Amino acid sequence: MAEHKDEQVVLNGDDLEELVTSFKRKVDISDRKYGFPSKLYRNCFVGTEAVHLLMDEGMATDVEDAVRIGNIMLESGVFHHVQRAHGFKNEYLFYRFADDEDHGELAQPGEEGALVKWADFLGKIACPPGQECLQPEIPGPDADLADMAQEDLDKVGVTPLDKHNATLLDNVHPKKWVDPDPKETYNLVVIGAGAGGLITAAGAAGVGARVAIIESHLLGGDCLNVGCVPSKALLRCAKTAASVRDAAEYGVHIDGEVSVDFGQVMERLRKIRAEISAVDSAKRYSEQLGVDVYIGRALLTGPNTVEVNGKTLTFAKAVIATGGTAAIPNIAGLAEAPYLTNSTIFNLTALPNRFGVIGAGPIGMELAQAFQRLGSQVTVFSRNDQVMPKEEPEAVELVKTSMQKDGVHFAFFSTFKRVEGTEPGEPVRVVLDRNGEEECHEFDGLLIATGRKPTVANLGLKAAGVDYDVRTGVIVNEQLQSSNNNIYAVGDVAGKYQFTHMADFMARMVIKNALFFGRDKVSDLLVPWVTYTDPEVAHVGLYEKDLIERKIDYSTFTREFKHVDRAIVDGETEGYVKIHVAKGKDTILGATIVSSHAGDLISEISVAMQSGMGLGSLASVIHPYPTVAEAIRQCGDAYNRERLTPTIKSIFYRFMALRR
């Protein structure tokens, strides 16, 4: 079937099929148990036995050759390790042929996702060494949030139905999905398949739990479908457009007309989203991860039961991960107007010439700048004179100045009287009350970005004994446990820090707390965040106002990028690194970075804080030159220089005099 070359078997294309047929016919395939407590793996063969078979049957010349041939078959998809954690090895490991795959068997993700390990969920989550909670106070929900309408995702479609969106929907909401038959009792039922829900389900299944996940709309939730992924794809295109516009500053002159093809921008967005969606797909979670996937609306019917599509699931523990949706303010006429939200804006195929944004938080600011750079004339409305209210004033001013340079107009202290326009394609008019006089703004597109409301309605929370608030979501304790001890909540439905990475770590915490009697506290998490305007604003730890309110003595070290060589040569000198430390110590209490790369830079400070590494120690870390990260090291240098008091200087001078 093959020729020998240098004592090894060389497989030709047609030989592989013959080899597989012979190998499968002779290898011992049976149900096997392993571990403590023992777990049953069906239809498996053992690596060591397969190696000996390949040699005994003359298919391989020696052990090394047998392992090589085995890996050829594995990489060709013929078989795989039962947990997709190993290649083919001459070890007591279990492997299963692809056509013998039991889709209900627990498995771990392969190259498409991070390997699930016990350590990921059983490791201790703790505050930075020797520190109390370093999470800052951020503005609470809008006082009017309870009275705002909530976007109904059942009425939000995915358009246009091109090949990219068809692929997306095949992955995250298959047209002909057949729910599995419920198991007798699940260790964990997860309601909601956004970032928090998916990570909870994957992690729990990876450590041996029987898991079901229920999603009524799109697996992947906001982040994949209408949040992080599409918005950052759009922002990347907008930044490229701005770079072309400013190219002359760098001696690059564009001859001829330069235009933005908005249709191509959005097609690229849809293509990227579809490619990434395979990781969150119903098929992957069902077939590879062993999670029972139900697509339908969940209704809790009791303390330990939930109904979906007429089937009742019984659980030992459950996690609510339903996230939130856009909150729609009570402005006269708005309900009848063809407005956009973050759930619908990525369905656009044509660029609005005039684009209005009601709301000046992170979502509104990011998308306002993007659409301005792509060619719209954008107006941002705010009820006061604030934008990005949780960030420090210096950072906000830099962002606002950058956006005004792009051409964005801000309408502050806006009192909304009504919105006019009811038909798609017709202009939408926002009418303000300016000291008794009407002020009208006309747009081809209007984005509502006035906040998000947790999804707690119509879930049966009362029947399950779960307390909640329509403004803040499911009420949980430090262990993310609700008033029903068997039901937990993660992500936007239960937290004020509404970020995908926060939902990720809340999910990891819940796996430990719900399934393994853990006592980790959500307040122990050190959570950085980024607003992806240009420049970006990144923050971790306490703000200066928090330090003052908590009566913590501190020192602040700032390095502006106009003094950093790499920023100067890149022409990106607007921004700074600001780091707060405990007075008289180098313990980092918080930091803010404003720059084009702030989101990447903040992680260095987060690592230092989490590991208890001080600012003085950061100064001793060699940073490549020239990089913008040198600004962080230079803050450390400034701290060390401050320690060189006049007395110490005098001692050094005298010592040096003695050495001369």
Specify the CATH architecture of the domain 535-646: 2-Layer Sandwich (3.30)
- pLDDT value, residue 9: 46
- 198, with CB counted inside 10 A (0-12, 13-18, 19+), is buried
Specify the CATH architecture of the domain 3-102: Orthogonal Bundle (1.10)
Q: Which CATH number fits domain 153-247+259-326+453-524: 1.10.510.10, 3.50.50.60, 3.40.50.300, 3.30.70.1880?
A: 3.50.50.60
Rounded to whole angstroms, the Cα distance separating 122 from 216 reads 30
Question: How many helices and strands in the chain, by DSSP H and E?
Answer: 19, 30
Residues 605, 632 contacting (CB under 8 angstroms): yes
Backbone φ, ψ for residue 318 (5° rounding): -140, 155
Q: Coil, helix or strand for 493?
A: helix
Rounded to whole angstroms, the Cα distance separating 531 from 599 reads 8
Rounded to whole angstroms, the Cα distance separating 265 from 237 reads 7
Rounded to whole angstroms, the Cα distance separating 242 from 284 reads 38
Contacts of 646 (CB under 8 A, 6+ apart): none
Look up tokens 């795989």; give the residue. Answer: 80
- pLDDT value, residue 38: 62
Rounded to whole angstroms, the Cα distance separating 486 from 484 reads 5
Identify the CATH homologous superfamily for domain 352-448. FAD/NAD(P)-binding domain (3.50.50.60)
| pLDDT tens digits along 247-261 | 999 999 988 888 999
Which pair of tokens denotes residue 304? Answer: 């330990």
Contacts of 186 (CB under 8 A, 6+ apart): 209, 210, 211, 212, 292, 313, 314, 315, 316
- pLDDT value, residue 144: 82
Residues 495, 471 contacting (CB under 8 angstroms): no
Look up tokens 């918080």; give the residue. Answer: 590
Residues 491, 196 contacting (CB under 8 angstroms): yes
Q: Coil, helix or strand for 235?
A: helix
Helix H or strand E encompassing 564: none
**Domain residue extents for the chain:** 3-102, 153-247+259-326+453-524, 352-448, 535-646
Q: Which of 201, 144, 449 is nearest to 319 (CA)?
A: 201
| pLDDT tens digits along 586-624 | 999 999 999 999 999 999 999 999 999 999 999 999 999
> From the first residue on, what is the mean pLDDT of each consecutive set of 10 residues in the chain (660 residues)?
44 70 91 72 91 92 92 84 84 86 38 42 60 78 84 86 93 92 94 95 90 95 94 97 93 89 97 95 91 96 96 97 94 94 95 96 96 97 92 96 97 94 86 93 96 94 96 94 96 89 92 89 91 97 94 96 96 96 94 96 95 92 94 93 72 72
Rounded to whole angstroms, the Cα distance separating 503 from 322 reads 11
* Intrachain domains 352-448 and 535-646 with the same fold: no
- Residue type (1 letter), 483: S
